[in-house]
Structure 1
Amino acid sequence: MTEWLLALVPTYGLWLIAATTFASCLALPIPSSVIMLAAGGFAAAGDLVLWQVLSAALIGAVVGDQVGYGAGHVGGAPFLDRLAKAPSRAKVINRARNTMEAKGGVAVFLSRWLFSPLGPYVNVISGAMRHNWLRFTLWGILGEVVWCVLYVVMGRAFAGNMNAASDLLGSILGFVATGTAVLLLGWWLVQLARKERGQKNALSEAGE
């Protein structure tokens, strides 16, 4: 499928780019990142215009996020439970639910580009849990901008060598993911220490 879609990029250009990012935000198995890398390469060759490629990718992704949020909002928890019946989805949905409950808007932002497999499910969970739509949308757009710019610009920089671009992006995202995990762990430990200190102070005051 990937090679077939890549062959369509020069012909259908912006419509294909928007369609693939839209579909990926609905958890459909579409290689949207590869398509954006290729589109960036075509922009470098002059076959496509860079800002138009970025706009098409962003519009498709944002609309896809909104559809996912809307499905969760309309279908609610029962819709989410039906999705989770598939064993392949259950683990991802539970992880997305826990991430969303713990981090809220930051989870929406990070699941657009850093933890992208969670993205479609975070969309549905946000809608089902009735998270504020404006907050979801703002964080979602910010995250999608990062995702689209990363892949399209990297594809343009490594025009004609998608493997090199993909490997470099994988290394960068892996490094960022590790750093983010360390920061979140540090934040959690600080909060835990503060909570324990508060409990000790409360017990001390009660004893007095």
Structure 2
Amino acid sequence: MTTQNFAAEVAGWAIGLMETLGAPGAGVAIALENLFPPLPSEVILPLAGFTAAQGGLVLWQVLAWTTAGSVTGALILYGLGAWLGRDRLRAIVDRMPLVPLSDVDKAEDWFARRGDQAVLIGRLIPIVRSLISIPAGVERMPLGRFLAYTTLGSGVWNTLLVGAGYLLGDQWQVVEEGVGVFQKVVVVVVALAVAWWLYLRLRDRGRPRHAAGAGR
């Protein structure tokens, strides 16, 4: 299935939900989008805004329900991270040949210092906006803070995309195209970062111990 066909399928599915449930249907769609990132919010949210512009939904209700859906999906992933916990995460990492536990320690330390900003800003980045809830749960970020930053970040993202769909009307697909380009950039940057990290790990593993020690 092509990307265009997938977007059309998602649009049809979202329209069906909104026709059946009204604004809560948009909230359900966004909750599922948080749990299954391949479901594109850049299709669902502008479409909900367009539907509101046509009089099929009330704009403030769309914003309220989609934000509630975002928070609900984020809470489920937070719970998954909390269930996983540090001990299980460290046990998994300990079995991975290229990931030292020291990297986990660094990540934990970074999240302890920057977790608030990570959750808030992460809500504005495709793909990351769903996944950021898991490390927040692993690190047991205080639930009140997690909810506050998640609600704020998700509210901004939802308002931007719903508002764009509302203003653009029949041209709401322009939002999908623009966010799609941004998402591709994010994927490429992440892929390059992972490739560089793997290169460094494999290079370090290939070095003789005395050579590694001499460089210290």
Same fold (TM over 0.5): yes
* Band of TM-score, shorter chain: 0.5 to 0.7
**What residue number does 2:199 align with?**
none
Correspondent of 1:134 among 125, 128, 144: 144
Correspondent of 1:149 among 152, 159, 165: 159
The runs of 4+ residues in structure 1 deviating greater than 4 Å are 78-84, 167-171
TM-superposed CA distance for 1:125, in Å, is 0.8
Q: Retained in 2: the 8 A contact 1:9–1:39? A: no
Question: CA deviation digits over 1:115-146, x for unaligned, max 9?
Answer: 23112322111111122222222111110110
Q: Counterpart of 2:119 in structure 1: which amino acid? A: V
Matches within 5 A, 1:19-38: 19-38=28-47
Aligned counterparts of 1:157 and 1:83: Cα–Cα separation in 2: 47
Q: Counterpart of 2:16 in structure 1: which amino acid? A: L
Change (3 A) 1:48 1:75: same
Correspondent of 1:5 among 10, 13, 18: 13
Q: Does 1:117 align with 2:127?
A: yes
State the SS of the aligned residue for 2:39: coil
Correspondent of 2:118 among 102, 107, 117: 107
Unaligned stretches of 5+ in structure 1? Answer: 85-89, 178-208
Identity across the alignment (%): 26
Structure 2-normalised TM-score? 0.64
Alpha-carbon RMSD: 3.0
TM-superposed CA distance for 1:64, in Å, is 1.1
Question: CA deviation digits over 1:20-48, x for unaligned, max 9?
Answer: 21112223422233111011001111111
Aligned counterparts of 1:79 and 1:23: Cα–Cα separation in 2: 26
